Amino acid sequence: MDFVTLGVQLLNAIQYGTVLFLVASGLTLVFGILGVINLAHGAFYMLGAYLAYWIAAYTGSFWVAVVGGVAVAFVVGLLLENVFIRRLYGRDHLAQVLLSFGLILVIDEVRQLLFGKDVHSVLPPEGLRGAIQLTDNLSYPVYRLAICVFCLVAAAIIFLVITRTKIGMIVRAGAENREMTRTLGINFDTVNRYVFAVGIALAALGGIVVAPISTVYPGMGDSMLILSFVVVVLGGIGSIGGAAIGALLIGLTDTFGKVFFPSVSSVLIYVLMAAVLLWRPNGILGRREI
C-alpha cells in the first residue's frame, strides 16, 4: 500500500469514526446520564436521513434539510420525553427496552407509510459535489472531507458545552450524583427533557450528514445502533471523551480491517471491544467502581 492510498484509508477511517461519534455521543448522553437504554436510537438516525431526503427534495437545499431535520428531531425528542421517556426514569431496564423497541416499530411504520420501501438518494450541497484528484487513477470526494471537518467541529462544540459551560457542569454533576444535585435546587425534569432531545437530534444529524454518501433506505439505523452501543461501552458509559476515543478506534479498526483482513473484518470490532474490556472493564475512560 503506497502513502497516497494509506492517506485515503486514514481519511475514510476518520470520516467514519467522527460520524459514529456524532451518533454515539447522543446515545452516551441518554444512556450514561439519564440511565435509559434507548434501542430506538438507530431509528432516529434513519429518521434524520429520511428527513434530509424529504426536506431537500421539497426545498432544493441540503442546508435547509440539515437545519430543518435537526429541528424536527429535537422537537420529536422533547415530545417523546414528555409523553413516554420520563416514565422510565428509575425503572428496570426491561421496561426501557420494551418501550424503546415499541418506538422502533412505530417509527418504521410511519416511515413505510410516508416513503415506502424504496431506496432514495440525497445530493450533496452544490459546492461539495466534486473530487480532489490525488493521482492519475485516484481521487477523493470533497463531501467526505467536508464530513470530517463538520463532525470535528461538532465534536469540539460538544466538548466545549460539556466541559466549559454551566449547562455542561449541571449535566456532569447529574451524571456523578443526581440526588446531591437535586438538593442544590436544580430542576432535573427540565434537564432530562433537553438532554434526551439533544441526544435524538445528534442521532438525526448523523443520519442527515451520511445520507448523500450512503443513500437512504429502510433499516439503515440497525447497524449504527449496534456500533453506537459498542462505542458507549468501549469508551465508558457516560464519558463523551471515551466515546470519541472509542469511535475513532472503531473507525480505524473497521476501515483497515476491510483492507487487510476482509474475510474477518466484521468481527474485528468486537475483538477490539473484548480486548479493551479485559484491560479496562469499565471502558477506556469509564469511572471505576469503588
Domains assigned to the chain = 13-124+143-279 (1.10.3470)
User: Shortest CA distance to 247 belongs to which of 265, 269, 268, 266?
Assistant: 269
Query: Is the CB of residue 49 less than 8 Å from the CB of residue 208?
Result: yes
Residue 287 has pLDDT above 70, yes or no: no
pLDDT tens across 14-66, in order?
999 999 999 998 888 888 777 788 899 999 999 999 999 999 999 989 999 99
For 118, phi then psi, to 5°, come to -75, 155
Average pLDDT, integer, range 117-139: 85
pLDDT band of 80, cuts 50, 70, 90:
very high
Rg over alpha carbons for the chain, rounded to the nearest Å, is: 19
DSSP string covering 33-52, please?
Answer: IS----TTHHHHHHHHHHHH
Angle in degrees, CA 241, 19, 126, rounded to 5: 140
pLDDT tens across 239-271, in order?
888 889 999 999 999 999 888 888 888 899 989
pLDDT for 55 equals 94
pLDDT tens across 147-195, in order?
999 999 999 998 898 888 888 887 777 666 667 777 777 777 788 888 8
Average pLDDT, integer, range 279-290: 74
Cα 159 to Cα 148: distance, rounded to the nearest angstrom: 16
Cα 64 to Cα 51: distance, rounded to the nearest angstrom: 11
**Mean pLDDT of the chain, nearest integer:** 87
The position carrying cell 472503531 is 250
Beta-carbon contacts of 158 under 8 Å, excluding residues fewer than 6 positions away, are 25, 240
Cα 288 to Cα 238: distance, rounded to the nearest angstrom: 12
pLDDT for 290 equals 44
